[in-house]
Structure 1
Amino acid sequence: MKLSRNARITLQKRYLKRDETGRLIEEPEDMFRRVSKTVASAELKYGSPDAASSWDEEFYQMMTRLEFLPNSPTLLNAGQELGLLSSCFVLPVEDSIDGISRTVREAMLIQQYGGGTGYSFSSIRPEGDFVAGYRPAAGGPVKLINVFSESANYIRQAGVRCGCNAASLPVTHPDIMNFIKAKSDGSCSANFATNISITDDFIEKVRRGDNFSLVNPRNGAVTGELSAREVFTTIAQGAWSTGDPGIIFIDRIKESNPTPHLGAFDTTDPCGGQLLLPYESATLGTINLSLMVKRDQNGPAVDFDRLAGIIPKAVRFLDDALDVNRFPFSQVENAALATRKIGLGFMGFAEMLMQLGIPYNSEEALSVADQLMRFFSDTVRRSSEQLAQERGAFPAFPGSIYDHAEGKPIRNASCVTFTNTGTTSIIANTSSGIHPIYSLVMVRNILDGERLLDINEQFERTAREHGFFSRGLVEKLLAGESPQDCLEIPQPHRRILATAKDIEPEWCIRMQSIFQRYTDNAVSQTVNFPKEATVDDIANLFLKAHELGIKGITAYRDTSRDVQVLCTGDACLDVIEGYFNGDLK
């Protein structure tokens, strides 16, 4: 296998099997064989042992070639005792002691098995509200987050990382201002992402400068009014300060429900990309676009033939994973198998554009995204329809949006999802999701405090090929200098090598909106802002995101948190020594 040093370190720290003493007992190739063999065993339910063996090899090859990778729990748990292969879940939170304690227990089980959980606190009565009819003793949503947070701190996901969680609250909840400020004032734990659920009506009130009503979910009573514009500015202030909260455009999300007869969406998974009903989950995976470029006499182009070969295999893999999944309890299993939701997306889009010689912040890049997504969504849909011909439609198909006279049976209620692909993109040595490249040279802060030097492979290949790769250039970029200001980089390459700090945030949401058009779930993307950005900059981006039809948006201003996963700056320069001393060559 062609794995980068950073990929091998990540695999060793997070994914490869160890014995009871902590000694590694698995190589990367062994891990991928463990995964392929486990997932392909689902084929025994539909075909012969020969078919299972054949698909074992197909799955193994596409993973070891790094063309496709599944979500982290699949890499961790396939063929192991826990056996949970889904990464994302949504749990309901009822406004009662019994309901809350039940959800805490269920969340701990999911996180023990390696999954992440999204919650809506829309039904939780506000702080100080009446309990048992007479005592003003309710704790409210913010304090409840910390109850869930402590349970997540106690349970490390599959023994690897602290639980991944996200909580959302409707903007009309009486505790909304406390919820918005929870990260900034320290009243909400850092391991919980927060999102505000916003309606189209609220956005119109923001634009007009109107007030809106606060409603107690316990009894539906109006408890007061606030200025929509002031609340919206406070949301932007929170995002400016800490990166939280994000925004969920809940009306758009509810319109995307493929099975309205089963219930309504109230929130998303922790990454914001997967739309799920209570107790639903999904198996996720990503195709590596940096490998989907061909070169001929006409120059580089998207390799649609290779992509067309990978997509049906990836869809089949994710559908098979549902059948061999060991769910933590029956309600999750029943919900998952009723709709058979999967989420196939991309990583490496920014690197694909670099190979094509197209700047991320260009109309040409938007055109490539549109062409790519039209092809991708059509091919994924046909692949799921083909599986339905072989295996039958998902059980909740009757009454779904697909159940009409002209509709073909489809195997999976939803198929296309875009997530951040954090560690899987490290394994594939490519850029995350559909994001611009954060920096051509940076430091990754990973598990147990290890710092990894990350030099973008496509940048290094281009720089070496054209003779401008040097230690001095690498040091400048690692210290935080923009490629646009580095005279060592020839002018024709500078625009193509633009990074997140060089790209106006509006380009990012314009790109996100293209992907959203063809995505039946959502597109998870954090828009990066420079340190100098203002609160108004973030507020205007949120409004523009609504205009463009995006389902959710998160913003992050550089250095607004004490610890960042991705870093540049003078403090990072010490990491460079091993690279140029030849240790990594």
Structure 2
Amino acid sequence: MKPSKMPQDTVEPVISDNARTVLTKRYLRKGEDGQPVEDFRAMFWRVASSIANEEKKYKKSRYKADELAGIFYTLMTEYRFLPNSPTLMNAGTDLGQLAACFVLPVGDSMEEIFDAIKHAALIHKSGGGTGFSFSRLRPKDSRVGSTGGIASGPISFLRIFNTATEQVKQGGTRRGANMGIMRVDHPDIIDFIRAKERDGELNNFNLSIALTEEFMQAVENNEEYVLIAPHTKKEKGRLKAVEVFSLLVQKAWESGDPGIIFLDRINRDNPTPAQGEIESTNPCGEQPLLPYEACNLGSINLDRFYAPDSDDGIDWEALRDTVHLSVRFLDNVIDASRYPLDKITQMVNKNRKIGLGVMGWADLLFQLEIPYNSHKALKLAEKVMGFIQNESKSASKLLAEERGPFPAYNESVYARQNLGPFRNATTTTIAPTGTLSIIAGCSSGVEPLFALSFVRQVMDGERLAEVNPHLEEALKKSRSHSPKLMEEISQKGSISRMDFLNENLREVYVTAMDIEPEYHLKMQAAFQRYTDNAVSKTVNLPHEATKEDIWDIYWMAYELGCKGVTVYRDGCKSSQVLCTGDGEKASQEKKEGRLSVQERPEVVYGFTQKVRTGLGELYLTVNEVDGRPFEVFATIGRSGRSITAKAEAIGRLVSLALRSGIAVEDVVKQIKGIGGEHPVFQKKGLLLSIPDAVGWVLENRYMQGTKTVGSHAGLSRPSCPDCGSELVFQEGCFVCSSCGYTKCG
């Protein structure tokens, strides 16, 4: 429904500088000129009022719509709860598509495949992300009965899905995100595991392998397992399970892709098994869904429930109230949302799944002075999520009394177990909260902070260091605060090795890279025990982590009851050219001081820029892979063969450096400022020579006038294409803490 008129006495929300940037760029409604047509207060009222107006449909409701609109407004503007991004963007608008997570089936026919592509485009256009299983497609080189031809296989179609996604701007804010899943017993599984080993390939997809318990037992017993052709259900071959598992581990070590999900465990928790098996998840893996199902998500900010005067530091009553209001909010979102397909509308209304999760967990631990990597933190995680799970079920039961249970209740596990009617088939999911946590001013999801300080880009290239407010307060309380220390923290991102600081401070204020990998996983498992769906969490690993470390993490995830796991070895993306292909050969080349040159993809895209130099017009073509420079071609119009040869040589050598993984910043540092006999003044400044001109183009295109942002581990990480700040990998996506840019895939 449309929003009601906003009362004049509606309180103006407090908006941080970071939140102001994110909301203005990505959430405020825009006019035809691209400028906002609403302010922050109007945005929150638009969402609160339009969702509350759904209450009018239910005569037994204990709330009046106008009263509930004010309650929802306060709930959001006090940052106790925020719904997923499509709801903030689209509630109360003509678009009206409010869900974030979708799963579409990919059938084994040309018609079904291209229907899925078309449907995905509609979902991406409306601001959602899509998950697909490619397990139903017959393997490559299989006979196609209708034509007598040969099937091209799932990987070829995966590339078509990726290309189609590239053309659709998702919700006007970012490229569409997808999850691609394949069962481990599909005959093309090896090709699928290796599908992203070339950097930049399938850049709109996260990939996961669906592992079965039969496969895991074969790994444990060092046995072969059977590959099944999906179109015939017949055995197509056998593979050694240990070798397949080892390849999974190797690829995760190289680049973090693909992840893994435990398919049998997911389906054991399927609340509506009569409707079929779950075969895929949403793009970040935390929301398993049936084909054509969608789910809307929201997150409670745990940082807001710190109560220093209570027995254990948490305001449980306030948390209970917030859970009940959040469940009502999310159930109303189902009614308010307009889905892109009738089939999706039918499935959503049949099961009414919602996913209430949390953010601000690391901040709550800071306030409670509990180290993230401690047994006490794990027990508290179970207590907090257990409370939220129980109260969300209680809230769903109350809604069922007012509104009736979800229509498929009688064929659900709840009816079979006599658990009483619920309004929603699922109530809890722990989702990524990249931009939501920036708006709320808290840590993301259940992740630790990636760094205690980050640099934010502001006007005119100025950069400001921002330190976690809880740490800053703790430092002041311990009389350790100083401008010099703040600068050092902003450089290192961590205080773990600052021995001059209080030991308790160093134990409590840990970052993702300070925490042992097994504690990342144990924390995920602790939250998973009390979550209906799954938990979005990255197990962060130091750069020097081994493949054996990842093997152990995967096995521990299986034993601890996780539904999937994503690992990310620090800096692996930037060094991926050293890891792809033959891993042992690349490792040996690294030891010998040689760099592996990345293969050129068959198709690359780029730009050509004309630059006036003292020796004539220089035409510099820069081709890119995954948004970074990959090769350059320098040609110059006037002059003789000697100058042409020098320009070509510069292009070849710069290309060799870029394809060997050398950062563009290092290339620019070497060639910028090289003098020549014919410098030329122009509006761009003084260009001294051909190499200086090449350096100028690369600097202005990729460095945006700033130095590359390094991590406290000394590794170069990707920069945000919007603002130039450092991107960090968490919850399955690259996220910019400064402007809210996210990239999944």
TM-score with structure 1 setting the length: 0.93
Cα shift at 1:59: 0.5
> C-alpha separation between the residues in 1 aligned to 2:237 and 2:509?
51
- Structure 2 distance, partners of 1:50, 1:176, is 53
Local SS of the residue matching 1:472: helix
Q: Which range is displaced more, 225-234 or 63-72?
A: 225-234
**In the alignment, which of 326, 335, 338 is matched to residue 347 of structure 2?**
335
Change (3 A) 1:53 1:439: same
1:2 correspondence with 2:14: yes
TM-aligned CA deviation for residue 133 of structure 1: 6.0
Deviations 1:149-174 (Å, cap 9, x if unpaired)? 11211111111110011000011111
Q: How far 1:9 sits from its partner (Å)?
A: 0.7
Within 2, Cα distance between the matches of 1:44 and 1:551?
Answer: 38
Q: Is structure 2 residue 622 aligned with structure 1 residue 479?
A: no
Instruction: Determine the structure 1 residue equivalent to 2:235.
Output: 222
Aligned to 1:79: 92
Q: Whole-Å Cα distance in 2 between the matches of residues 450 and 209 of structure 1?
A: 57
**What secondary structure sits across from 1:137 in the alignment?**
coil
Cα RMSD of the aligned pairs, angstroms, is 2.5
Distance 1:122 1:575 in 2: 39
Task: Show the counterpart of 2:443.
Answer: 431
SS at the partner of 2:411? Answer: coil
Distance 1:566 1:14 in 2: 24
The farther-off stretch of 143-152 and 564-573 is 564-573
Distance in 2, Cα, partners of 1:575 & 1:180: 32
Change (3 A) 1:224 1:539: same
* Same amino acid, percent of matched pairs: 42
1:137 paired residue number? 150
Letter in 1 for 2:533: N
CA distance in 2, matches of 1:404, 1:250: 22
1:399-478 paired onto structure 2 within 5 Å: 399-404=411-416, 406-443=418-455, 454-478=466-490
Q: Aligned with 1:483: secondary structure?
A: coil
For the 8 Å contact 2:228–2:236, the answer to whether it is kept is yes
Aligned-pair CA distance for 1:471: 3.8
2:175 alignment partner, one of 162, 166, 169: 162
User: Is the 1:443–1:567 contact (alpha carbons within 8 Å) kept by the matching residues of 2?
Assistant: no
- Taking a change above 3 Å as real, the CA distance of residues 167 and 333 of structure 1, as seen in their structure-2 partners, is same
1:475-516, CA deviations, whole angstroms, 9 ceiling, x for partnerless residues? 433333631112353222100001111111111111111111
Q: Quick check: 1:511 aligned with 2:523?
A: yes
Write the distance in 1 (CA, Å) between the matches of 2:278 and 2:346: 17
2:207 matches 1:198:
no
Aligned residue in 1 for 2:711:
568
Deviation digits for residues 126-155 of structure 1 (CA, Å, limit 9, x no counterpart): 222222367553222222111111121111
One-letter code aligned to 1:183: K
* Residue 407 to residue 450, structure 1, CA distance change in 2 (3 Å): farther
Secondary structure, aligned partner of 1:403: helix
What CA deviation, in whole Å up to 9, does each residue of 1:19-63 have, x standing for no partner?
111112222221111100111110111148971101101100000
CA distance in 2, matches of 1:450, 1:137: 58
Give the aligned partner of residue 14 of structure 1: 26
Equivalent residue of 2:533, what SS?
A: coil
- Give the superposition deviation at 1:388: 0.3
Q: Tell me, which stretches of 5 or more residues in structure 1 are unaligned? A: 577-585
Retained in 1: the 8 A contact 2:453–2:493?
no
Correspondence 1:243-258 to 2 at 5 A: 243-258=256-271
Q: Shift in Å at residue 117 of structure 1?
A: 0.4
Q: Give SS of 2:298's match.
A: strand
Among candidates 391, 404, 416, match of residue 392 of structure 1: 404
Aligned equivalents of 1:35, 1:365: Cα separation in 2: 34
CA distance in 2, matches of 1:488, 1:8: 36
**1:242 and 2:255 are equivalent in the alignment:** yes
Which is greater in Rg? 2
Measured after TM superposition, the shift of residue 264 of structure 1 is 1.1
SS at match of 1:190: coil
Hey, what does 1:581 align to over in structure 2? none
State the shift of 1:224 in Å. 1.9
Report the Cα distance in structure 2 between the residues aligned to 1:269 and 1:220, rounded to whole angstroms. Answer: 26
- Give distance in 2, aligned partners of 1:63 and 1:520: 24
Q: Name which structure has the greater RCO, CA cutoff 8 Å, separation 6+.
A: 1
TM-score w.r.t. the length of structure 2 is 0.74
> Equivalents in 1 of 2:463, 2:547: separation in Å?
31
Cα 1:197–1:33 change in 2 (3 A) is same
Contact 1:170 1:196 in 2 (8 A): yes
Deviations 1:499-543 (A, max 9, x none): 111111111111111111111111111111111111111111000
CA distance in 2, matches of 1:470, 1:189: 46
Structure 2 residue 353 is the aligned partner of structure 1 residue 210: no
With over 3 angstroms needed to count, the CA separation of the structure-2 counterparts of 1:138 and 1:353, relative to structure 1, is same
User: 2:102·2:130 contact (CA, 8 Å) conserved in 1?
Assistant: yes
Is it true that 1:321 corresponds to 2:464 in the alignment?
Answer: no
Q: What is the alpha-carbon distance in structure 1 between the residues aligned to residue 432 and residue 449 of structure 2?
A: 12
Describe the superposition over 1:191-227 as per-residue Cα deviations: whole angstroms up to 9, x where unpaired: 2000000011111111221111222212123222222
Match of 2:672 in 1: none
Establish whether residue 150 from structure 1 lines up as the match of residue 163 from structure 2: yes
Q: Report the number of matched residues.
A: 573
